[in-house]
Amino acid sequence: MANISTVTEFLLLGFFDARELQLVHAVLFLLVYVAALLGNLLIITITTLDHHLHTPMYFFLKNLSFNDLCLISITIPKSIAVSLTNNNSISFLGCASQVLLVTWFAGSEFFVLTVMSYDRYAAICLPLRYELVMDRWACVQMVTASWLSGSLFGVLFSVSTFSLPFCGSNTVQQFFCDVSSLLKISCSEDHVAIDVIVAVAVGLVVVGFTSIIISYVRIFSAALRTPSSEGRNKAFSTCLPHLTVVTVFHFTGVFAYIKPPSDSSSALDLLVSVFYAVVPPTLNPLIYSLRNRDMKAALGRTRKGGNAWWLLWDKLCLSLC
């Protein structure tokens, strides 16, 4: 017990030690962050302003974009600051806030993606009952439940993690504070509360992912039975992007938190964390919207007046598409 000391700050892991590579990392992450910021703001703006996109699909997409915007804003700016200033310290409160918010928005993303798969199932397999099943009140309830569930897990994980004592090294083997990295530097081996929460989270992930798979099996079965090739193409075009993001988000997240813990960080750990914390929020605007005909049409209607702001958005769309 004599070696246990009060930790007032933590040290985040950088991607590179060489100063030149740190600057390259900062520039690359800044470009990624700006692209994610502009792309997701574009989705939120267009789906809000254009009444043609006031449908359940784009309502969920708008919430997903807002969630992605929050998720990437928690990790990327701090990592850029670490590379630019060569100061990788983060306060105890700042680290706790990162754990809370990353878990919150990552959990919310999981639930929103699950809800989106059900929306696509209802639209394709239950077309005659779609407006009844996915009315406005039902959509609001689903999104509210997703955000509340994510926030609940965020609070549980952060409180359980930071109630543990920390001693020895205060270096977090990650470029942001996460639960698994903090457990490695905790003095206590008694993680009963966290183990219970993880078990519940894993159970929900399994149930959610299974429901997504079942939804898509039924979607593809219904699409293949559709006599019209245009109908099949439309069904696949609206579902495959979502399925791609679901696969990347779920498998990288599960691998990052379920894999056997190691005493030191590795390039693979950092790569996996980038995939689930950075890649989905950045790819979301590209694969969901900038190649979506409805979004392009909505963008054209919104900027029809020749406003320079929308001309700038248009150039962004053309460059990314």
Task: Kindly report, residue by residue over 168-217, the tens digit of the pLDDT.
Answer: 678 888 889 988 888 888 887 777 888 888 889 888 888 988 898 898 88
Asked if residue 302 is part of any domain, the answer here is yes
Percent of the chain with pLDDT over 70: 78
Neighbours of 134 (CB within 10 A): 22
Amino acid at 153: F
- In terms of Cβ atoms closer than 10 Å to its own Cβ (0-12, 13-18, 19+), residue 269 is buried
pLDDT band at 271 (very low <50, low <70, confident <90, very high): confident
What are 60-91's pLDDT values in tens digits?
A: 989 999 999 999 999 999 999 988 888 889 99
pLDDT band at 103 (very low <50, low <70, confident <90, very high): very high
Would you state the pLDDT for residue 3?
44
The single-letter DSSP state of residue 265 is -
Would you state the pLDDT for residue 225?
78
Would you state the pLDDT for residue 1?
38
Asked if residue 4 is part of any domain, the answer here is no
Four-residue CA torsion sign, 267, 268, 272, 273: negative
Average pLDDT, the chain: 81
Would you state the pLDDT for residue 125?
87
Q: Which residues contact 125 (CB under 8 A, 6 or more apart)?
A: 218, 219, 222
**Dihedral in degrees, nearest 10, Cα atoms 227, 230, 233, 237:** -140
Tokens of 120: 């696509």
Q: Which residue has the tokens 């039975």?
A: 225
Tokens of 193: 């509360």
Domain count, the chain: 1
Q: Are 192 and 172 in contact (CB under 8 A)?
A: no
Asked if residue 24 is part of any domain, the answer here is yes
Least confident piece of the model among 46-50, 112-116, 250-254: 250-254
**The CATH number of the domain where 209 resides is what?**
1.20.1070.10
Four-residue CA torsion sign, 288, 289, 291, 294: positive
pLDDT band at 2 (very low <50, low <70, confident <90, very high): very low
| Rounded Cα distance, 198 and 153, in Å | 9
> What's the whole-model pTM score?
0.84
Asked if residue 3 is part of any domain, the answer here is no
Asked if residue 1 is part of any domain, the answer here is no
Question: Would you say residue 56 has pLDDT above 80?
Answer: yes
What are 146-182's pLDDT values in tens digits?
A: 999 999 999 999 999 998 888 767 888 888 998 888 8
| Rounded Cα distance, 297 and 303, in Å | 10
Asked if residue 310 is part of any domain, the answer here is yes
Q: Which residue has the tokens 């969901």?
A: 288
Asked if residue 140 is part of any domain, the answer here is yes
The residue among 221, 240, 238 whose CA lies nearest residue 230 is: 238
Domain that residue 265 falls in: 9-320
Q: Which residue has the tokens 């994510």?
A: 150
Least confident piece of the model among 212-216, 232-236, 274-278: 232-236
Q: Are 183 and 161 in contact (CB under 8 A)?
A: yes
What are 120-152's pLDDT values in tens digits?
A: 889 888 888 898 889 999 999 999 999 999 999
User: Which strands, in side-by-side order, build the sheet including 171-172?
Assistant: 89-91, 9-12, 171-172
| Rounded Cα distance, 79 and 86, in Å | 10
Question: Would you say residue 250 has pLDDT above 70?
Answer: yes
Would you state the pLDDT for residue 320?
47
What are 6-43's pLDDT values in tens digits?
A: 677 898 887 777 788 888 989 999 999 999 998 899 88
Residue 176: phi and psi, rounded to 5, are -150, 165
Tokens of 136: 């406005």
Asked if residue 2 is part of any domain, the answer here is no
